[in-house]
Chain A
Amino acid sequence: MDVKRRDFLRIAGLGAGLGIGGQAVWEVVKGDDVLASTHREKTEGKRWAMVVETAKCRAHDCTDCITICHKIHNVPHFDDPKREVKWIWRQGFEGAFPDQFNEFLDEDITGGSVPLMCNHCDNPGCVKVCPTGATFKREDGIVVIDMHRCIGCRYCMAGCPYGSRSFNWQDPRKGLDRIDPEYPTRTKGVVEKCTFCSERLAVGKLPACVEACPYKALTFGDLADKGSDVRKALKGVYAIRRKQSLGLGPSIFYIV
């Protein structure tokens, strides 16, 4: 066969072009989403979420939810704020909702503080940046950390805009008066945060904070279930989420 150099180059170029562009074209034709989309994966119709009635929290200077959570999960207490470890904490309106803090907001709305915790985002930023896959989103929407795989790089802390994650700068057992044997502690060099009480959900209990709240300010349930407590709690009210313009899809709703 006699192939001229010019023809050979044409055929080779066409072949290379098909090779490079072929897959993208095929994916478009096939109808799959070409963009890498991880956050819309099926969660078997489940997405655990929480609704906070901020009026109740602001009216009472109560920390029962924090106390019980930190107690049963062996969350250490250190006085040095740089070494602080927290799963739930309270913060004022401006700190919690910086992009909703408008001029002339009523003191009735901005006063006091509200409980904050991991938002168990629908599209979690922390999961995307974790280099070892230690932090991941479960089928039911809960974002958890596999402590066995955490290498303590703190990328997830940088990736979380809510400050929900704490790093263990030292042996956490030093900051514990007593250890609850029912739950493991963490070790020096790993990141920890709220788990939506996945260990309690597994045995059919509600998260400890929800159960402990004396004013019933916290409601827990499945967003995917129209009849769930959270969906009922969101009916007829105006609820906001923290920094939702960032697009992470936080699952904690605050009724203001």
Chain B
Amino acid sequence: MYDAGKVIVGIVLFIGVATAPLWYDTIAGKSAQAPKLAKAADGPCVEPKEWMRANHMELLDHWRDAVVREGEKDYKSSTGKTWEDMKLTGTCLKCHDKARFCDKCHDYEGVKPYCWDCHVVPKKEVR
């Protein structure tokens, strides 16, 4: 290979620059840190925490159909309790703060739910 030294140095430099963000985050200790969520102001949640973590989007999807299309209002939880006012602002946001709870994970995961294009975030700061 001609100019082997230059080529190899070039390759090494390129890889170094291209992966710089990863190095930087590792050294700065910012990588792979799970987002810290604000604790709920009140509890318990409509469903167990672990289940909600994995399935809250499906629950909300079910809720919106149930409320808008079926005209239902109450949610019968698997925990046996019945929750009135089955909607984001009626239950979730009574205890959770959007900016310090919902957004934390959504930003981290890069998901952009469009709930808030229409639904109004309650002014009242919960915790």
Binding site for B on A (CB under 8 A): 74, 136, 138-139, 144, 146-148, 179-181, 183-188, 202
Contact = CB atoms under 8 A, between A and B. Distances in A.
Interface residues of B, number: 13
Contacts of B114: 187
B118 A187 contact: yes
B122 A187 contact: no
B71 A184 contact: no
27 contacts: A74-B120, A136-B69, A138-B71, A139-B71, A144-B68, A146-B68, A146-B69, A147-B118, A148-B64, A148-B68, A180-B120, A181-B89, A181-B120, A181-B122, A181-B123, A183-B120, A184-B118, A184-B119, A184-B120, A185-B118, A185-B120, A186-B118, A187-B114, A187-B118, A188-B117, A202-B71, A202-B73
B interface, by DSSP: helix, strand, loop or mixed? Answer: loop
Interface string B60-90: 0000100011010100000000000000010
Interchain residue pairs A-B with the least CB separation, the first 5: A187-B117, A184-B118, A181-B120, A184-B119, A146-B68
Given A181-B89, A186-B118, 12 more contacts: A74-B120, A144-B68, A146-B69, A147-B118, A148-B64, A148-B68, A179-B120, A181-B123, A187-B114, A187-B117, A188-B117, A202-B73
A74 to B, nearest CB: 8
A144 B120 CA distance: 20
Nearest to B122: A181
A138 B67 CA distance: 12
Nearest to A133: B69
A215 B69 CA distance: 34
Nearest to A188: B117
Contacts of B118: 147, 184-187
A186 B118 CA distance: 5
A148 B118 CA distance: 10
A230 B42 CA distance: 45
A159 to B, nearest CB: 20
Contacts of B71: 138-139, 202
A188 to B, nearest CB: 8
B110 to A, nearest CB: 21
Contacts of A138: 71
A104 B118 CA distance: 49
Nearest to A136: B69
Contacts of A146: 68-69
A180 B118 CA distance: 12
A188 B117 CA distance: 8
Nearest to A190: B118
Contacts of A74: 120
A185 B114 CA distance: 12
A207 to B, nearest CB: 16
B120 to A, nearest CB: 5
A179 B123 CA distance: 11
A225 to B, nearest CB: 19
A51 B71 CA distance: 25
A199 to B, nearest CB: 10
B64 to A, nearest CB: 6
Contacts of A188: 117
Interface string B93-122: 000000000000000000000100111101
Contacts of B73: 202
Contacts of A147: 118
A181 B120 CA distance: 6
